[in-house]
């Protein structure tokens, strides 16, 4: 009787999703609804049924996220306000489509801050600075989070803000070029690297607040800075910042949901790998670190050189292989520095139990979204190419990535896998994921060749 009464009390006392909301909660919800209404009334004529459905679903989802994690409110409102200002500056005195994109080189705020390319360059700078301040924090004498790490965290928020601003403004800019050119900016390597950078950073910032530690910022932001470096190289080498019309296979509403879901997986897998690196530096023996962290890049360099000199390859592929051999040599140097400086790099890391838990949570979240993205991709393939699965290289490697993390989670949940083995596995998983994302585009051809380097 007593137990039943206590259970009933717990059920009755449980708060519903709308209970206990304060004035700021409802004000945020009202502003998001107003923004959605404005978008529908202003641009509804340019939306198809699927886009209207996405807007309808995204509105309550954004409200729920703002209620769940309050820092997203200020980010959402700030990005929305800055985007509307950029649109206003582009339109000038006009009230509809047909903005003068040349204003990006004439209007001061657009030229130096609010145009998509300017915002993405600011994003790159802020992420680099964030990484630098996080690494400076390792050499602080403080036992808790240092002032440098606090600055690094704020700079990371600034980078996310500029990345989202650049994405939203680029979306608007694409629609001003022509009625058949406008599209959500997740269609090529340039755009998805921006997506990867801000999404990975945002997941880190959430876990930073959740676990109340900034000591992992240097590790995670290093992966983000690597993505930014590729983005800047790709911009210079391919002029990738130019907005291009979509190829026929990408002219589908599936792209709007498949690609973002995919990059939730990529971002959290990258985050888990960098946490795994911190875990191994904190717990692994020096000999194992030398064999693993230095041996793996050395082996990859040897494999690249073997392919380079042992096969007849096109000149472009040879140049790409030489470049990637040099990049892997840089990874080798980085890992060597990590091993040499492991004491200051791990002195203020949280407990191994917390690192292990964070690694698991990141992989579990990423796996769920990667699974959804793979299913959506199959539906998209059926629409674009007439079949759900064709064993295209990209599809095959996506399956390999899925099986890798499915096995990791199975061993974790069914067999209790913990510790160094799971950390090494998560770190190697990033290599597999990177090849699925970039390596396939470099060395293999197939139906996804529109993403070539």
DSSP 316-361: HHHHHHHHHHHHHHHHHHHHHHHHHTHHHHHTT---HHHHHHHHHH
Q: Residue 316 phi/psi, 5° resolution?
A: -65, -40
Domain ranges of the chain: 68-199
Tokens of 177: 């070029």
Distance from C-alpha of 444 to C-alpha of 394, rounded to nearest angstrom: 9
Tokens of 138: 């390792």
Q: Residue 324 phi/psi, 5° resolution?
A: -70, -30
- 323 Cβ neighbours under 8 A, 6+ residues apart: none
Distances 146 to 136, 137, 138, 218, 355 between C-alpha atoms, Å: 9, 6, 8, 12, 19
Strand runs (DSSP E) across 250-369, as ranges? none
DSSP three-state, residue 15: coil
Distance from C-alpha of 349 to C-alpha of 276, rounded to nearest angstrom: 12
pLDDT of residue 299: 63
Tokens of 191: 């755009």
pLDDT of residue 8: 47
Distance from C-alpha of 299 to C-alpha of 366, rounded to nearest angstrom: 28
DSSP secondary structure of 127-150: HHHHHHHHHHHTT-S-SS--HHHH
DSSP, res 180: T
Per-residue pLDDT of the chain (453 residues; tens, 9 = 90+): 455 555 444 444 556 667 778 899 999 999 999 999 998 898 888 777 877 888 899 999 999 999 999 999 999 999 999 999 999 999 885 555 567 788 888 899 999 999 999 999 999 999 999 999 999 998 877 666 688 999 999 999 999 999 999 999 999 999 888 777 888 899 889 999 999 999 999 999 999 999 999 999 999 999 999 999 999 988 888 888 888 888 887 888 888 899 999 999 999 999 999 999 999 999 988 878 877 777 766 666 565 555 555 555 555 555 555 555 566 666 777 788 888 888 888 888 999 999 999 999 999 999 999 999 999 999 988 887 788 888 888 889 899 999 999 999 999 999 998 989 999 999 999 988 988 888 777 666 655 655 555
Distance from C-alpha of 374 to C-alpha of 261, rounded to nearest angstrom: 9
Q: Which residues of 302-332 are buried (b: 16+ CB within 10 A; e: fewer)?
A: eebeeebeeeeeeeeeeebbeebbebbeebb
pTM for the whole thing? 0.89
DSSP three-state, residue 247: coil
Contact between residue 194 and residue 166 where contact means Cβ atoms under 8 Å apart: yes
Give the other-Cβ count within 10 Å of 25's Cβ.
16
Distance from C-alpha of 23 to C-alpha of 4, rounded to nearest angstrom: 36
Distance in angstroms between the alpha carbons of the first and the last residue of the chain: 69
């Amino acid at each position: 009787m007593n137990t039943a009464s206590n259970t009933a009390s717990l059920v009755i006392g449980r708060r519903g999703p709308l209970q206990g909301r304060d004035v700021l909660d409802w004000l945020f919800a009202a502003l998001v609804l107003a923004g959605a209404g404005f978008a529908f009334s202003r641009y509804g004529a340019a939306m198809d049924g699927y886009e209207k459905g996405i807007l309808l679903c995204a509105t309550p989802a954004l409200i729920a996220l703002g209620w769940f994690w309050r820092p997203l409110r200020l980010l959402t409102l700030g990005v929305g306000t800055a985007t509307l200002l950029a649109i206003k500056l582009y339109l000038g005195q006009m009230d509809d489509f047909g903005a003068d994109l040349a204003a990006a080189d004439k209007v001061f705020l657009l030229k130096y801050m609010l145009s998509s390319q300017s915002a993405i360059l600011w994003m790159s700078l802020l992420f680099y600075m964030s990484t630098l301040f996080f690494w400076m924090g390792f050499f602080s004498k403080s036992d808790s989070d240092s002032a440098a790490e606090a600055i690094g965290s704020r700079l990371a928020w600034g980078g996310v803000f500029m990345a989202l601003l650049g994405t939203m403004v680029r979306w608007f800019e694409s629609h001003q070029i022509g009625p058949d050119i406008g599209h959500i900016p997740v269609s090529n390597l340039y755009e998805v690297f921006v997506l990867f950078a801000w999404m990975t950073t945002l997941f880190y910032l959430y876990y930073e607040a959740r676990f109340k530690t900034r000591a992992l910022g240097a590790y995670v932001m290093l992966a983000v800075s690597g993505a930014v470096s590729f983005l800047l190289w790709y911009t210079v080498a391919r002029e990738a910042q130019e907005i291009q019309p979509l190829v026929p296979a990408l002219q589908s509403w599936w792209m709007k949901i498949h690609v973002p879901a995919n990059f939730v997986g990529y971002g959290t897998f990258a985050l888990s790998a960098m946490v795994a690196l911190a875990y191994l530096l904190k717990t692994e023996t020096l000999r194992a670190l030398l064999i693993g962290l230095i041996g793996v890049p050395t082996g990859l360099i040897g494999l690249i050189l073997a392919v380079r000199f042992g096969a007849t390859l096109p000149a472009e592929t040879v140049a790409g292989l030489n470049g990637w051999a040099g990049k892997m040599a840089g990874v080798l140097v980085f890992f060597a520095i990590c091993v040499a400086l492991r004491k200051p790099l791990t002195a203020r890391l949280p407990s191994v139990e917390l690192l292990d838990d964070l690694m698991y949570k990141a992989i579990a979240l990423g796996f769920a979204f990667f699974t959804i993205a793979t299913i959506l991709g199959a539906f998209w393939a059926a629409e674009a190419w007439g079949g759900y699965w064709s064993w295209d290289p990209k599809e095959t490697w996506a399956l390999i990535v899925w099986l890798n993390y499915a096995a990791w989670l199975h061993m974790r949940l069914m067999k209790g896998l913990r510790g160094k083995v799971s950390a090494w596995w998560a770190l190697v998983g990033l290599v597999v994921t990177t090849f699925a994302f970039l390596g396939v585009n470099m060395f293999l051809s197939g139906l996804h060749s529109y993403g070539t380097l």
